[in-house]
Amino acid sequence: MPSRVFLGQSGIMVQQNGTTISLDPSYPINCDFTFVSHAHVDHLHRRGRKKIKTQVVASKETTLIAQARGYEIVDPAEDQGGLQLVDTGHILGSRGLLVDDDLYYTGDICMRERAFMKPAKMPHARTLIIESTFGMPEYIFPPLSEVMHRTNKIISEMYDLGIPVILMGYTLGKAQMLTKLFGHWHPIIHDSVAKINSVYSELGVKLACGVTNRQAEEQGLLSKSIPWVMVAPLMSERNAFVREMKDRFGAVTIGFSGWAVGNRYKYMMGLDYVMPLSDHCDYKELVAAVKECRPDKIYTFHGFAREFAESLQEMGFDAEPVGNGHNRKAAQMALTLDSFQ
């Protein structure tokens, strides 16, 4: 029996061989299985008063990170008959879901090796449901080595001038990557980032154990006369913390995001510098992922879903966005977030 993929009230749903699966729902519903691909808060939800009948499927890492963030994944399972978790390379613990070796849902995916993160694995499946956050040809990311070189150059120049630098990325995923990539600067770690870093360390990812910004404040390590580096959540210039760091210490900000490919992002966020570093696939990598999977049918979701489906159609694939495909608004909203968690 062919898979049925559709957009329900809580998100993407799959019906396969009499089994109903909810994929990263916005709120829990009654169904056979609920799949949670990773622990970003847009994929998690609080427990409601209403009892929901479903078996949650999630990785051990996702469950532990979610718990550290105040979200409980109830009685999760990693292994279920016909359901297989596949590493997607997005953040620690992120997984895709392979159903009956026939349908594959990627969740968020990255095909590049980055420090401790390995590239995603793409299984062969007849039906592919793939994210398309950066599903337009203009979103092509530079090599990681180039981003690191440019960032280290800025930090070095600021150090020579006695100016502190704040490296900013999403609290979960990007901030841990920044901690690892720029650990040689012995960065101060923002309290919210330090909390997630400790979970990563417990799960075997060793990160630099810098003092937190609160400890640095107490110890007098934040100074206008002595340069320092800090890893902090991604915030715009409007954020009170950023304003304080600039007013008190003259700090320079560097934001890391895939959206930094476009010129608009820097000015919209009000940051001094931006670097195109993403935990998602760029356009070419999305196409490569599709070709590696070799599906007969493709459904795109999130970001530029309609545009990516149209590109795949031009390449000869049978592709369409899940639902009506009007996801441009979601892509634009992503550009306005002060701090994606």
DSSP letter assigned to residue 303: E
Select from 23, 292, 285 the least CA-distant residue to 142: 285
Residues 247-303 pLDDT 10s: 999 999 999 999 999 989 999 999 999 999 999 999 999 999 999 999 999 999 999
CB atoms near residue 261 (< 10 Å): 19
pLDDT for position 258: 97
Considering the chain, what is the average pLDDT of its residues? 92
338/248: higher pLDDT:
248
Distance (Å, rounded) from C-alpha 199 to C-alpha 267? Answer: 33
Burial level of 245, CB count in 10 A (0-12/13-18/19+)?
A: buried
**Residue 48 — pLDDT band, cuts 50, 70, 90?**
low
| Cβ-proximal residues to 340 (8 Å cutoff; 6+ apart), any chain | 40, 42, 170, 234, 334
Tell me what the mean pLDDT of segment 228-238 comes to: 97
pLDDT for position 333: 41
In this prediction the pTM is: 0.93
Tell me what the mean pLDDT of segment 186-207 comes to: 96
**Residue 47 — pLDDT band, cuts 50, 70, 90?**
low
Q: What structural domains does the chain harbor?
A: 4-139+279-336 (3.60.15.10), 144-275 (3.40.50.10890)
In the chain, DSSP finds a helix count (H) and a strand count (E) of: 10, 16
Residues 170-180 pLDDT 10s: 999 999 999 99
